Amino acid sequence: MKKVFISYVRSNSEAVDRICDELRKNAIEYWIDREQIKPGTLWKTAIKEAINDGAYFLACFSREYEERTETHMNEEIILAVEILRKKHFNSGWFIPVKLSDCNIPSYNIGAGSTLQDIHYLEFHKDWERGINRLIDMIKRDENLKQDDIYEKFFEKQYIYQGLKSLIEKGDGIGFHNADQGHPVYQSGAKG
């Protein structure tokens, strides 16, 4: 299962730990550097792979982030913006969170939009409401993805059964000869 990548500055570790606790309680997997990067691992590579493979990118903005002149969170955001530009314009993959009253940076995400144009969650105003909205959104999306998997499976089963039925009845005339090596043709072959 893909994980929620959490980007933050170390000085916000306490608030981020609260987010992780809530995600864990709701069986939502997350990726956070200090838990997932093993000793001896190339940490920049591990972070890049986790961002690329993430189900979501949760960017935790705060006054502490704004006050930093340099932070690895900036590198993570730049990588995330590159990925975001390739996704559907309204994918919901990049989730900005305000841990305190602060500004969201104006990184260009393409098509005349910036990160400031993405709707954000305000944890600093109402923690419970913010965390509940985050969890509801992730769970809803997981359920939709699961429904898509089942729908595609049953659609393929339906097509397979239809082809098999045609072959068994001898009505498979017109199918391409190259297809006759397919197992569905083999099972209905008459000898």
Could you give the number of structural domains in the chain? 2
Domain holding 169, by residue range, is 149-188
Q: Are residues 68 and 121 in the same domain?
A: yes
Q: Are residues 31 and 80 in the same domain?
A: yes
Q: Are residues 101 and 58 in the same domain?
A: yes
Q: Give the position of tokens 């083999």.
A: 186
Model confidence band, residue 147 (pLDDT cutoffs 50, 70, 90): very low
Reduced to 3 DSSP states, what percent helix, strand and coil does the chain have, rounded to the nearest 5? 55, 15, 30
pLDDT tens sequence across 176-190? 555 555 555 555 545
Asked if residue 131 belongs to a domain, the reply is no
The confidence score (pLDDT) of residue 91 equals: 87
Token representation of residue 23: 């995600």
Q: Are residues 120 and 153 in the same domain?
A: no
61 exposure class (CB count in 10 Å sphere: 0-12, 13-18, 19+): buried
Contacts of 122 (CB under 8 A, 6+ apart): 98, 130
Q: Are residues 156 and 82 in the same domain?
A: no
Asked if residue 13 belongs to a domain, the reply is yes
Q: What CATH number does the domain containing 35 carry?
A: 3.40.50.10140
Q: Are residues 53 and 104 in the same domain?
A: yes
> By the 8 A CB rule, do 6 and 20 touch?
yes
